[in-house]
């Protein structure tokens, strides 16, 4: 028994000895390997030398050149950009909730021990605004958007400008602003000369050009974003004096008023707005940013600095654009002329002989092809200047000299229109149903059927006054025309929509 136990212990001793040796071997091996790795690793951690730009592969050189250009633009333009903080206080009045339920019941007022609770309460709310701008003169004139300094519908009382280059803050004064273009000029009083942005030529901007936006989105000062020009002359409803530059360079809240620049560091636009789905009430960039062309700004900057406001020429006409089919029926050249649909009573246009129904074809010898053409030419005149307007009237051309006056605000120009109500019998012709006009001559359209030849041209409430050069004074005139022109395929129709005269020429199948 003892012999057997001795053998077992001997075998365990030998086995343990072998295992111990094996483990030491492993540890030694790993230790050696680790030391080796450590030595190799220490040499591999030495940093590689930077790229030798003189030996760049050809395919990298163009990218590197563009990168250098962007670096230079940032260095050139960023110091001219400013951060603009403004705030205003709005006072609201609301009816006390107590009165909503109990009104003037004296019993309830005394029951709740509130005998002197006012019927109305007032509270004040601070409305902040954060935006951008850029320096246009070394003595401190700054260009920005009007909405940046008008957060609550009126000019903010407290406007603070921070110059990004120095970090210095200044209290800014509003020199002037223009509601029509959403442009404002501010002034600060620096003790030293400031860096000035170079204003470029936005008329030279082309789709596909590189574009750089610099500003303070969400308060992140000096943010630089890069993209391209997506479109030019973008027409946004409601703004008649500015056709926007569209870019996909990321623009966000806070960029408003900052510069949009080209790769030469020249300002080509003022970043103004974005088009966004506006989810959850917060607008965000989706690749559609809009900037006011800098040439538009140039037209107003001087007046704002000198006068504090912008004066534009005005003659007092409402204009409707006409298509080439209508021009053909009238005998006008393709693409030329706009229709005077209304002449404002007492306006320069009425005084000097412009008539409703005239087709304006030239202003001071310049061909007029669109409403924008006419607006630009007239608005560029100073009040008191004379302008030669060539019109097409009753088959012949007439030139009228008109002295322009100062343009009222858009809200003053806005006019109310009221249509008449049909009365008496009706007549149907080619899918339109008309009735007598109780307010004067012509006939009122009371229905336009879907299959009508006039569908898409006339609408309910329009007043037809002439078809194919035949005056329509009443329902009898219209009935006679309908009888004599059952198979007519070409039409030139004059009608009123509200107080606006419209002329449309078209052909049917």
Tokens (6 digits) for 303: 């007046």
Tokens (6 digits) for 502: 């419209």
**Active-site annotation, residues:** 147, 182, 256
Tokens (6 digits) for 178: 């223009």
**Exposed e or buried b for every residue in 394-425, given b needs 16+ CB within 10 A?**
eeeeeebebebbebeeeeeeeeeeebbebeee
Rounded alpha-carbon distances, angstroms, from residue 52 to 49, 57, 106 = 8, 10, 89
For the four alpha carbons of 166, 170, 174 and 177, in that order, the dihedral sign comes to positive
Count Cβ atoms below 10 Å from residue 130 Cβ, excluding itself. Answer: 18
Q: What is the DSSP string of 429-490?
A: ETTEEEEE-TTSSSEEEEEE-TT-TTBTTB-TT-EEEEETTEE--SHHHHHHHHHHTTT--E
Instruction: Label residue 103 exposed, middle or buried (CB < 10 Å: 0-12, 13-18, 19+).
Output: exposed
Tokens (6 digits) for 68: 């250098």
Count Cβ atoms below 10 Å from residue 390 Cβ, excluding itself. Answer: 20
Instruction: Label residue 272 exposed, middle or buried (CB < 10 Å: 0-12, 13-18, 19+).
Output: buried
* Secondary structure element (H or E) that encloses residue 229, with its range: strand 223-234
Do 164 and 182 contact (CB within 8 A), yes or no?
A: no
């Amino acid at each position: 028994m003892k012999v057997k136990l001795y053998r077992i212990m001997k075998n365990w001793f030998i086995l343990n000895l072998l295992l111990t040796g094996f483990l030491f071997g492993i540890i030694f091996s790993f230790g050696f390997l680790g030391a080796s790795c450590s030595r190799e690793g220490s040499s591999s951690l030495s940093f590689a030398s930077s790229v030798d730009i003189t030996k760049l592969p050809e395919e990298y050189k163009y990218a590197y050149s563009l990168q250098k250009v962007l670096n230079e633009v940032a260095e050139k333009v960023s110091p001219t950009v400013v951060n603009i903080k403004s705030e205003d206080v709005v006072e609201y009045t609301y009816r006390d909730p107590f009165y909503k339920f109990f009104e003037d019941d004296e019993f309830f007022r005394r029951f709740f021990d509130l005998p002197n609770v006012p019927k109305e309460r007032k509270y004040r709310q601070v409305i902040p605004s954060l935006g951008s701008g850029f320096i246009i003169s070394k003595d401190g004139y700054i260009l920005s958007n009007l909405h940046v300094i008008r957060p609550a519908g009126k000019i903010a009382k407290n406007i603070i400008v921070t110059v990004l280059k120095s970090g210095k803050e200044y209290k800014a004064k509003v020199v002037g602003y223009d509601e029509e273009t959403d442009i404002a000029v501010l002034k600060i009083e620096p003790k030293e000369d400031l860096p000035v942005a170079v204003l470029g030529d936005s008329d030279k901007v082309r789709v596909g050009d590189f574009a750089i936006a610099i500003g303070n989105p969400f308060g992140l000062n000096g943010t630089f974003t890069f993209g391209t020009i997506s479109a030019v002359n973008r027409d946004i409803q409601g703004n008649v004096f500015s056709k926007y530059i569209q870019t996909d360079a990321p623009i966000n809240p806070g960029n408003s008023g900052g510069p949009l620049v080209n790769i030469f560091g020249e300002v080509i636009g003022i970043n103004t707005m974005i088009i966004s789905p506006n989810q959850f009430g917060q607008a965000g960039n989706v690749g559609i940013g809009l900037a006011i062309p800098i040439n538009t700004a140039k037209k107003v900057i001087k007046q704002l600095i000198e006068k504090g406001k912008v004066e534009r020429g005005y003659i007092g006409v409402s204009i409707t654009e006409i298509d080439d089919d209508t021009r053909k029926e009238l005998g006008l050249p393709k693409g030329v002329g706009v229709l005077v649909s209304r002449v404002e009573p007492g306006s320069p246009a009425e005084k000097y002989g412009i008539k409703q129904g005239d087709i304006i074809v030239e202003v001071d010898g310049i061909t007029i092809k669109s409403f924008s053409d006419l607006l630009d030419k007239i608005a560029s005149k100073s009040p008191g200047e004379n302008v030669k307007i060539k019109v097409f009237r009753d088959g012949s051309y007439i030139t009228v000299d008109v002295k322009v006056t100062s343009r009222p605000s858009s809200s003053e120009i806005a006019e109310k229109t009221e249509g008449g109500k049909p009365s008496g019998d009706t007549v149907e012709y080619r899918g339109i149903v008309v009735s007598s006009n109780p307010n004067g001559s012509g006939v009122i359209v009371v229905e336009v059927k879907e299959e009508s030849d006039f569908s898409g041209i006339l609408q309910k409430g329009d007043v037809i006054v002439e078809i194919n050069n035949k005056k329509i004074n009443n329902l009898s005139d219209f009935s006679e025309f309908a009888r004599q022109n059952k198979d007519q395929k070409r039409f030139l129709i004059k009608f009123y929509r509200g107080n606006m005269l419209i002329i449309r020429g078209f052909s049917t199948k």
